[in-house]
Amino acid sequence: MDNGENHLSEHGVKPTSNRILVWKALAAQQRPVSLSELEEILETLDKSSIFRALTLFLEHHLVHAFEDGEGVIKYEGCPDPDHCGIHDLHVHFYCEHCRKTYCFPAAPIPQSTLPEGFTAHSINYMIKGICEDCQKASR
Ligand SMILES: [Zn+2]
Ligand SMILES: [Zn+2]
Ligand SMILES: [Zn+2]
């Protein structure tokens, strides 16, 4: 995921300099980030350019987007766009104190059995609570 340019073109996205910047900023994060957080990281790009790049990445399944439980969309790079399926999704944790979203890649999403005729395309599994850092800080 470190060579942004190749990663983008291999997955059908023309690697313009803006798109590479957005991709690299996203890939460098250890956790899912919102559009405003990306805007802060990418001081040289405006919100609409970042949003356009993210929308394109989504269309090509280069990123995952989900609602963080407080109405904010968070984005994360897809670890494996070629083989990504519902079984590769992991649990997320939303800290009600610092409002950060954490990835728990070692915790797969529990699968539920759907009624016949229903097909799942994505699952948003979000646990809310207080993160490690905030718990330490409050002690
Ligand atoms: Zn994926
Ligand atoms: Zn926290
Ligand atoms: Zn994640």
For residue 45, the CA-to-ligand 3 centroid distance in Å is 24
Provide the residue type at 72 as one letter. Answer: V
Give the CATH number for residue 107.
1.10.10.10
Edge-first strand order for the sheet with 101-108 is 101-108, 90-95, 126-129
d(CA 11, CA 31): 22
| Rg of the chain taking only CA atoms, in angstroms | 16
**H helix runs in the chain, sequence order:** 4-10, 17-28, 35-41, 47-59, 132-138
Residue 81 alpha carbon to ligand 1 centre in Å: 5
Please tell me the number of the ligand nearest to residue 79's CA. Answer: 1
Residue keyed to tokens 């405003």: 36
Task: Give the residue numbers spanning the domain of 15.
Answer: 4-138
Domain count, the chain: 1
As a whole number of angstroms, the distance between CA 78 and CA 90 comes to: 11
pTM of this prediction? 0.86
Q: Are 77 and 1 in contact (CB under 8 A)?
A: yes
Tens-digit pLDDT string for the chain (139 aa) = 456 899 999 999 999 999 999 999 999 998 999 999 999 999 999 999 999 999 999 999 999 999 998 899 999 999 888 888 887 889 999 999 999 999 998 988 888 899 999 988 888 899 999 999 999 998 7
Measured from the alpha carbon of residue 80, the closest ligand is 1
Q: What is the pLDDT of residues 18-29, one digit of tens each?
A: 999 999 999 999
pLDDT at 122: 82
**Of the ligands numbered here, which is closest to the C-alpha atom of 1?**
1
- Predicted confidence at residue 97, as pLDDT, reads 95
